[in-house]
Amino acid sequence: MAAPKPQFDCNNCPAYCCSYPEIPVKKRDIKRLAKHFSIDVEVARKRFTKWDGEKKERVMRHRDDEHFVTACRFLDQETRNCTIYEARPQICRDFPGTRRCGYYDFLMFERDLLDDPDYVSTTDNVD
Choose among 15, 19, 46: nearest CA to 30.
46
Closest CA to 36 of 85, 81, 82: 85
48 binds ligand SF4 (CB under 6 A): no
Residue 95 engages ligand SF4 in binding (rule: CB under 6 A): yes
Binding segment for ligand SF4 (CB under 6 A), chosen from 38-46, 62-70, 94-102, 119-127, is: 94-102
Position 68 contacts ligand SF4 (CB under 6 A) = no
Distance of CA 41 to the CA centre of its chain: 22
Of the residues 34, 44, 59, 101, which one makes contact with ligand SF4 according to CB under 6 A? 101
- CA 61, 25, 69, 84 dihedral sign is positive
From the centroid of its chain, how far is CA 10? Answer: 11
- Which positions touch ligand SF4 (CB under 6 A)? 8, 10, 13, 15-18, 23, 60, 72, 74-75, 82, 84, 88-89, 92, 95-96, 101, 103-104
